[in-house]
Structure 1
Amino acid sequence: MILSCSHIDKAFGAKHVLKDVTFHVEEREKAAIVGINGAGKSTLLKIIMNQLAADQGEVTLSKGATIGYLAQHEAVSSEHTIYEELLEVKKDIIAMEEKLRSLEQDMKDQEGETLSATLDLYHRLSTEFENQNGYAYKSELTGVLKGLGFEEEEFSKSISTLSGGQKTRVALGKLLLSRPDIILLDEPTNHLDMNSIAWLETFLLNYPGAVLIVAHDRYFLNKVVTKVVELDNGKATVFLGNYSDYAQKKAMLRDAQLKAWMNQQQEIKHQEQVIAKLKSFNREKSIKRAESREKMLDKIERLDKPMELDNEIHLQLHPRVESGEDVLKVEHLSKSFGNLSLFSDLNFFIKRGEKVAIIGNNGTGKTTILKIINSVIEADAGSFTLGSKVHIGYYDQEHHVLHMEKTLFEEIADDYPALTNTEIRNTLAAFLFTGDDVFKQIKDLSGGERGRVSLAKLMLSEANFLILDEPTNHLDIISKEILENALNQYTGTVLYVSHDRYFINQTASRILDLTGNTLVNYIGNYDYYLEKREELTSIYAPSSDTAVSENKTVSETSSSNKDDWQKRKEEQAKERKRQNDLKKAEDQIQKLESRDQEIDDLMCLESVYTDVAKCMELNKEKAEIAEKLEALYEVWESLM
């Protein structure tokens, strides 16, 4: 065991954030802390790092163990270049290397005992240098920087010129290079693109130390962690397994708790009715019996009612008007900023009812595409056409659609004057803003709270074409799941940019990958994209070392040949139907085989095999099952 938290308590005023939190992390273990926004996850990390004092309890770190921590918005501040800043982590190794070079020079002029002593020191130092990976520290540093999304030409950039997200990535790189025995990470994927997140997953999986992560990225958690510590109403519960295992076990646990609570409530109600009836007889014996039951009832340890699942965001997005079949057509779209060309000659179209995700590395122009379609900025070349009766609802990750000086109530009331005060309050309550919260100013809200206000406005807009820019940023896991369900039930059309792979997997019917200044189309979710990425990228977005003429030919083919695209779409639709039919057949076979086994078990019961009528009925059902199974086996074989 490398880290232990025992009976941690923490309150801020009247709000009790952590209550008797106890868990531990083993050496090399990868664990996650999950919970809704405000559950106390970051507070717990700060207590572990001794940046915040617990009201009660104790944090114990294994003797001699080192610990590293990356806070949620931590960034470096320095006049160094990116490369120089990461070299700071390797100061000891660099000093050791310089000492070795110095000893080599000294030995040229030494002899006898002096030379022997220097050689002995040299061998000890070189062994330590090798043990600390000294011969490969430069390649290690370069690998971390590239893994976190920095190109080699960016290594010489000054830290002072970087964006906040880039500075956070530098801070993460320094932490990973320092290789402590246990790493604490608070939302490490927030400023990483998909490739960098995938690299970080691999790095952490192979990391020889322990890792404790706070994250809302469920795909990331599924890949990395083997233990989940859930904070709920201040209390901690430990679940073994990854995020999916946790979610499944959590649902089972909650069902069991709800069932136990309902049974107890039923028993209490029954006892109360019996007591009331006994008292109504108004006889000495009956009153004594009632009093005896009352004492027993008072001794029952009352179970708390499990928290309702419907107390989070409830999105119901219904288009007021149905759009035409063709929702959006983009032709020959290009955009540059100065010498930086984001994309050129983009061509794609979206049909009614599609859920399309645009993915790609940071800086490739995904958000720019959304802004062009929403007429926030203009394209350098090309055009886009909206279909008949298309009404856009736009969710901006920077929340430019919000007015900082307004209160939440005013933000809704001014845009939707027809709503009553009660309707406005009910809408905001659905997004967790209750009581006096509605009179807070937008400028005083956190990023996650602003996101919820923007989503509330989107819900009220009744648009039939939703354009969403990173809609899951700052949302906790429960809120993400509710948004996913809402989008899956939404009958309109959705185009969104997201780095949340789990969210994409749950909601996208098509993916557009912005790579190599062009778009590559995948008709499926994120898992399908991973399966086909290498194949389709090599065809439609070859690497820069491919001949220019070949690049041009492929570009022309991909942009103009809609027949090929339609053919692929039909083939993939057929394959999805085959898979669905196969699953249905297998489910039916399993159900019938289970029933057939049940009949066999029933026929062994004396009460059944002595009942002629029952036996005949079961034999008849068994024959029908055999006939159905024979037909299903044939269907299954043909589908396979």
Structure 2
Amino acid sequence: MIILQAQQVGRSFDGHELFSRVNLEVQDHSRIGLVGPNGVGKTSLLEILAGVNPPDSGQVTMSKSATLGYLAQDSGLDSSRSIFDEMLTVFEPLMAMETRMHELEAAIADPTTADLDGVMKQYDQLQHDFAEQNGYGYQAEIRNVLHGFKFDEETYDMPIHNLSGGERSRLALAKLLLERPDLIILDEPTNHLDIDTLGWLENYLKNYAGAVLTVSHDQYFLDHVVTEIYEITQHHAEHYNTNYSGYLKQKADRQALAWKAYEKQQAEIDKLQTFVDKNIVRASTTKQAQSRRKQLEKMDVLDRPINDNQRVHFRFTPDKPSGNEVLSVDDATVGYEADAPMAGPINFKVKKFDRIAIIGPNGVGKSTLLKSILGQIPFLAGSAKFGANVLTGYYDQDQTQLHLNKTVLSEIWDDHVTTPEKDIRGILAAFLFDENDVQKSVASLSGGQKARLELTKLAMNHDNFLILDEPTNHLDINSKEVLESALADFDGTVLFVSHDRYFINQLATQIIAISPDGSQTYLGDWDYYQEKLAEQQAVAEADTTETTAAPAQAAVAYQQSKEDQRQQRKLQREVDQLEAQLNDLESKADVIQTQMTADDVLTDYQKMQRLQDDLDAVNAQMAETEHQWEEKSLALEAMQ
């Protein structure tokens, strides 16, 4: 059954068309994600679909029997009640039924009650309805949802007006889920949620009885919750029956087919037009030319494929390579007070080309760890040591490295005074800062613009070791994907803190999980980390049950076999990557050697010396890569 339908819906703002001709359909149990570039009006479309605002064109219809719940972005619950009492308001009809049942019970027990049979029938019917509507379990349902959003029983009596903005936002979402409308419309529901809560919400929404329509910048959330994607652009809405990763592939395939069809038709048009131009005035071929002209006039000309997504364009390019040993953190404890440490002891090593994600619960000291590594905050215990030739670049999630009183242009130019202004403007343009933006004060920028400005500074410093604290905060999906690609292609090393699971999956080769008791290393991405946690939980549960020694040994052997298989796959990936690096380095060496044979180089000692230095650096890197390849290949052969 169709719950909601949008037909040819459009919205304009100050004469500027945000979107038009949007057609969208929500069925029972739909799981739909809306995606599109920033500024296209996704929030405006949600408000139209939710009935908050009317469309400028088109119409939205909804089933008369269906109920709808809408949660705006960053909207918080405003109430003078306590947390639990506010959740109880959702179930006021059930509470009224419960009160009436107690009244009927009292009447049944009263020997003076007239028409006892009628009272009994009324009570039976009411009790049946009460049970059907989960009357005996609604308080447990409240507790389950509150627990999922990190509100434990000690918080139930807290007044809502004393909570933070993020906590009130989580409560607003909790209350909406308890209301159980037929269609939930959510605008960025993953804001203010930590990784554990995100996982709980994903499972809840996957099993939700109604339909879900959501806007989110969290690709992992979209991958694991939605089964349909509508891409909203200025010109139309494109529908994909898949999750986010499937949408990316299908979109690329559609774009390729659209270009192929367009180019084929353009070639046909050119061919027909050329014939017409050459033959229309010749008596012997006039009829054929007129026939082809009619073909051209009747032809349904395809529009040139366009990409509505304006994208950032940048790369991270280190000036010089680091040594193989990049960083060693040994028995480190982080925090601000010796008698109240946040986490420790923390131990891990960072090797050249590693992509290491640091994860952990909120407040455990992940950002503090990065600042301690950089020497901004002293360790309570332990140490961090950098390797040879390591040049560190730091991205601060709080954006404290930006100067709010400067313009965008001076923020960059002041650090690179010898770079021509036109080059600075060109670099800023690659990060989507236009002519008007570059004269704005840094203080006036949005969170996303400040994030892009800080990335601009980072890219221009050409460091070989990037330390990033929540780099995807404030970035839209397009910018996050560009950042993922730039870091994946970076010829250096990356250590980053993130709660973005998709970003971790795309980038991480290792995960360092931080807890108050210390750290644990996992050699893989987010999905691998989840597998290991599941295995550890299974082993822990098995240890609590009475088992014989033989089954326990079998379980260990099974786990070891799986671990060996994973390690073998990991080694194979590393060998393949090193082979690809060797091919790239050999190509670089060939290019340099060709340049060294040029006439102008053979007669210029300085040019020849610079090229020789470049060749020596490439050869040294090749030697190091070959050494790593030999080690990994031998280890792989030993496991086969």
The answer to whether 1:314 aligns with 2:313 is: yes
Partner of 1:479: 479
Residue aligned with 1:415, SS? coil
Deviations 1:579-635 (A, max 9, x none): 7999xxxxxxxxxxxxxxxxxxxxxxxxxxxxxxxxxxxxxxxxxxxxxxxxxxxxx
> Aligned in 2, Cα 1:390/1:144: closer, same or farther, shift over 3 Å?
same
Deviation at 1:190, TM superposition (A): 2.2
> Aligned in 2, Cα 1:237/1:74: closer, same or farther, shift over 3 Å?
same
Partner of 1:149: 150
Q: CA contact under 8 A between 2:233 and 2:308: conserved in structure 1?
A: no
Residue aligned with 2:305, SS? coil
Q: Which amino acid aligns with 2:176?
A: L
Q: How does 1:37-436 map to 2 (within 5 A)?
A: 37-278=38-279, 296-297=295-296, 299-308=298-307, 311-336=310-335, 341-436=341-436
Unaligned runs of 5+ in 2: 545-561, 577-637
Q: Which amino acid aligns with 1:367?
A: S
> Aligned in 2, Cα 1:298/1:24: closer, same or farther, shift over 3 Å?
same
User: So what's the TM-score if we normalise by structure 2?
Assistant: 0.80
Q: CA contact under 8 A between 1:37 and 1:475: conserved in structure 2?
A: no
CA distance in structure 2 between the partners assigned to 1:425 and 1:326 by the alignment: 37
> Aligned in 2, Cα 1:194/1:136: closer, same or farther, shift over 3 Å?
same
> Aligned in 2, Cα 1:379/1:33: closer, same or farther, shift over 3 Å?
same
Deviation at 1:317, TM superposition (A): 0.3
CA distance in structure 1 between the partners assigned to 2:370 and 2:208 by the alignment: 38
CA distance in structure 2 between the partners assigned to 1:161 and 1:394 by the alignment: 35
> Aligned in 2, Cα 1:347/1:80: closer, same or farther, shift over 3 Å?
farther
Deviation at 1:221, TM superposition (A): 1.7
> Aligned in 2, Cα 1:443/1:46: closer, same or farther, shift over 3 Å?
farther
CA distance in structure 2 between the partners assigned to 1:581 and 1:165 by the alignment: 45
> Aligned in 2, Cα 1:365/1:260: closer, same or farther, shift over 3 Å?
same
Q: CA contact under 8 A between 2:37 and 2:309: conserved in structure 1?
A: no
- Between 1:369-378 and 1:61-70, the stretch displaced more is 369-378
Q: CA contact under 8 A between 1:271 and 1:297: conserved in structure 2?
A: yes
Q: Which amino acid aligns with 1:333?
A: A
> Aligned in 2, Cα 1:533/1:426: closer, same or farther, shift over 3 Å?
same
Q: Which amino acid aligns with 2:430?
A: A
Q: Which amino acid aligns with 2:422?
A: T
- Between 1:6-15 and 1:442-451, the stretch displaced more is 442-451
> Aligned in 2, Cα 1:43/1:308: closer, same or farther, shift over 3 Å?
closer
Identity of aligned residues (%): 41
CA distance in structure 2 between the partners assigned to 1:326 and 1:538 by the alignment: 36
Q: Which amino acid aligns with 1:361?
A: P
Unaligned runs of 5+ in 1: 547-567, 583-637
- Between 1:488-497 and 1:120-129, the stretch displaced more is 120-129
User: So what's the TM-score if we normalise by structure 1?
Assistant: 0.80
Deviations 1:343-385 (A, max 9, x none): 1221222112110001223333222222322344343333222
CA distance in structure 2 between the partners assigned to 1:416 and 1:225 by the alignment: 45
Residue aligned with 2:246, SS? helix
Partner of 2:9: 8
> Aligned in 2, Cα 1:229/1:143: closer, same or farther, shift over 3 Å?
same
Deviation at 1:140, TM superposition (A): 1.0
Residue aligned with 1:344, SS? strand
Q: Which amino acid aligns with 2:17?
A: H
> Aligned in 2, Cα 1:511/1:569: closer, same or farther, shift over 3 Å?
farther
> Aligned in 2, Cα 1:483/1:7: closer, same or farther, shift over 3 Å?
same
Q: Which amino acid aligns with 1:484?
A: E
Deviation at 1:99, TM superposition (A): 3.2
Q: Which amino acid aligns with 1:415?
A: D
The answer to whether 1:489 aligns with 2:483 is: no
Deviation at 1:303, TM superposition (A): 2.4
> Aligned in 2, Cα 1:256/1:172: closer, same or farther, shift over 3 Å?
same
Deviations 1:406-452 (A, max 9, x none): 33222222232232222122212212222323223333333222222
Deviation at 1:80, TM superposition (A): 3.2
Deviation at 1:41, TM superposition (A): 1.4
Deviation at 1:173, TM superposition (A): 0.6
CA distance in structure 1 between the partners assigned to 2:237 and 2:639 by the alignment: 47
Partner of 1:530: 530
CA distance in structure 2 between the partners assigned to 1:406 and 1:90 by the alignment: 54
> Aligned in 2, Cα 1:571/1:345: closer, same or farther, shift over 3 Å?
farther
Partner of 1:609: none
CA distance in structure 2 between the partners assigned to 1:136 and 1:241 by the alignment: 35
**C-alpha RMSD of the superposition:** 3.2
CA distance in structure 1 between the partners assigned to 2:438 and 2:15 by the alignment: 21
Q: Which amino acid aligns with 1:321?
A: K
Q: CA contact under 8 A between 1:357 and 1:498: conserved in structure 2?
A: yes
Deviation at 1:238, TM superposition (A): 1.1
Residue aligned with 2:475, SS? coil
Q: Which amino acid aligns with 1:383?
A: S
Residue aligned with 1:134, SS? coil
